[in-house]
Amino acid sequence: LMSALLVVLALLIFAIDTFTPLDMAIAVMYVVVVLLSVNLWRRRGVLLASAACLFLTVLSYGLTHTMVFSGPASGRLVVSLAAISITAWLALRGQAATAALLAREEALRVSRLQLAHVTRVTMLGELAASIAHEVNQPLAAISTNGQACLRWLQRAQPDLEEARSAVTSMLEASARATGVIRRIRSLARRGDPQYSALDLNSVAQDSVDLMRRELHQQHVRLRLALAPALPPVLADRVQLQQVIINLLMNAVQAMAAQPAAEAPLWLELRTLRQPDGALQLAVTDNGPGIAGADLPRLFEPFFSTKTDGMGMGLPICRSIIETHGGRIWAESGSAAAGATLAFTLPVQEPQP
């Protein structure tokens, strides 16, 4: 429709230019056609439209002037042709610049999604043993209860009550296994973020569940201090889980890397509501802490003190938290604790 209107506009200008006795450079109005065409068509279309405007200008001149040169009229012709050409050139340049810019934002977004996917899958790889254990436990429970159930049924006097309770346990265990698989599947999923109203505590709990075995293996005691009745945050569940798991993994790795300590290793995950209403989640460990000189560089891409570190964990955490409208930071050096990594998220205000 817009394209048709543009053609009509061009023809209108042509008609006025050709059939009204106005001594003005009407043809300059063709620049409007050129400017509008930039929003409608690609480069080729704009070039064609500009060429058509130039042609109509010359055609109109040819129809209304018997002499090729006629002082002021020729001057108006040249001015019109120049105006149309210059406008077309500037418009095309602007169009190309915008296109290049769009391709760069978009490329950035795609590469960030890919990177986030890679670190997520890497994390899953590191968590493989824990995950296998998480699924194995309910499977073992199903098998044990299945055998018990058979025994109750094979008695001379089958004990249906006991059999029923064994089957109930089997169903519970299978639901637990399904839950683990669901969490892993959603974590491995790749795609654009999906925002929904989430309970930060439940996301934290899900992340901790995936880390349990890892914590157990490294002899790390976990304290959960979840503030009750927090308002929901508007966030992507997978991305938040990724941030929390990353913070927990970093803490475990930092503690595991230090020379055997006398003090037992512990880790605390707290959620709380800040005075300004925002929610805060903090992970504190009693590992070696972070050197003062490293603190400002922690969130820089590729900054890592590990021999095999990628240094992308915290930058991705920061990018995720900031796109959620929050803030993330690190603290170190307070008494008795190692490092604290914390982030805030704005709460989703209830719609009035």
Binding residues for ligand ADP (CB under 6 A): 250-251, 254, 285, 287, 290, 298, 303-306, 309-314, 338-339
- Please report how close the Cβ of residue 330 comes to ligand ADP at its closest, in angstroms: 7
- Please report how close the Cβ of residue 309 comes to ligand ADP at its closest, in angstroms: 3
In three-state secondary structure terms, 333 is coil
Q: Are 93 and 287 in contact (CB under 8 A)?
A: no
Cβ proximity to ligand ADP, 60 vs 242, nearer residue: 242
- Please report how close the Cβ of residue 272 comes to ligand ADP at its closest, in angstroms: 19
Cβ proximity to ligand ADP, 87 vs 246, nearer residue: 246
The owner of tokens 């001015």 is 79
- Please report how close the Cβ of residue 289 comes to ligand ADP at its closest, in angstroms: 6
The owner of tokens 């820089």 is 300
Cβ proximity to ligand ADP, 145 vs 242, nearer residue: 242
Q: Are 348 and 231 in contact (CB under 8 A)?
A: yes
Cα separations (Å) of 149 from 125, 135, 138, 156, 174? 36, 21, 16, 14, 15
Give the 3-state DSSP-derived string for 165-196, with helices as H, strands as E and coil as C.
Answer: HHHHHHHHHHHHHHHHHHHHHHHHCCCCCCEE
Cβ proximity to ligand ADP, 137 vs 304, nearer residue: 304
Cβ proximity to ligand ADP, 25 vs 243, nearer residue: 243
Cβ proximity to ligand ADP, 87 vs 250, nearer residue: 250
- Please report how close the Cβ of residue 280 comes to ligand ADP at its closest, in angstroms: 17
Cα separations (Å) of 48 from 38, 40, 204, 231, 339? 11, 12, 58, 57, 64
Residue nearest to ligand ADP (CB): 313
- CA–CA separation, 25 and 82 (whole Å): 12
- CA–CA separation, 252 and 286 (whole Å): 10
- CA–CA separation, 112 and 286 (whole Å): 32
- CA–CA separation, 13 and 10 (whole Å): 5
Cα separations (Å) of 109 from 36, 191, 193, 320, 335? 30, 11, 11, 12, 40
- CA–CA separation, 107 and 103 (whole Å): 6
- Please report how close the Cβ of residue 49 comes to ligand ADP at its closest, in angstroms: 51
- Please report how close the Cβ of residue 304 comes to ligand ADP at its closest, in angstroms: 3
- Please report how close the Cβ of residue 118 comes to ligand ADP at its closest, in angstroms: 12
- Please report how close the Cβ of residue 259 comes to ligand ADP at its closest, in angstroms: 14
Cα separations (Å) of 277 from 197, 201, 274, 349? 16, 16, 5, 10
Cβ proximity to ligand ADP, 80 vs 246, nearer residue: 246
- Please report how close the Cβ of residue 4 comes to ligand ADP at its closest, in angstroms: 55
Q: Is the dihedral of CA 234, 328, 226, 205 positive or negative?
A: positive
Q: Are 208 and 224 in contact (CB under 8 A)?
A: yes
CA angle 151, 157, 160 (to 5 degrees): 65
Cβ proximity to ligand ADP, 163 vs 243, nearer residue: 243
Q: Are 87 and 35 in contact (CB under 8 A)?
A: yes
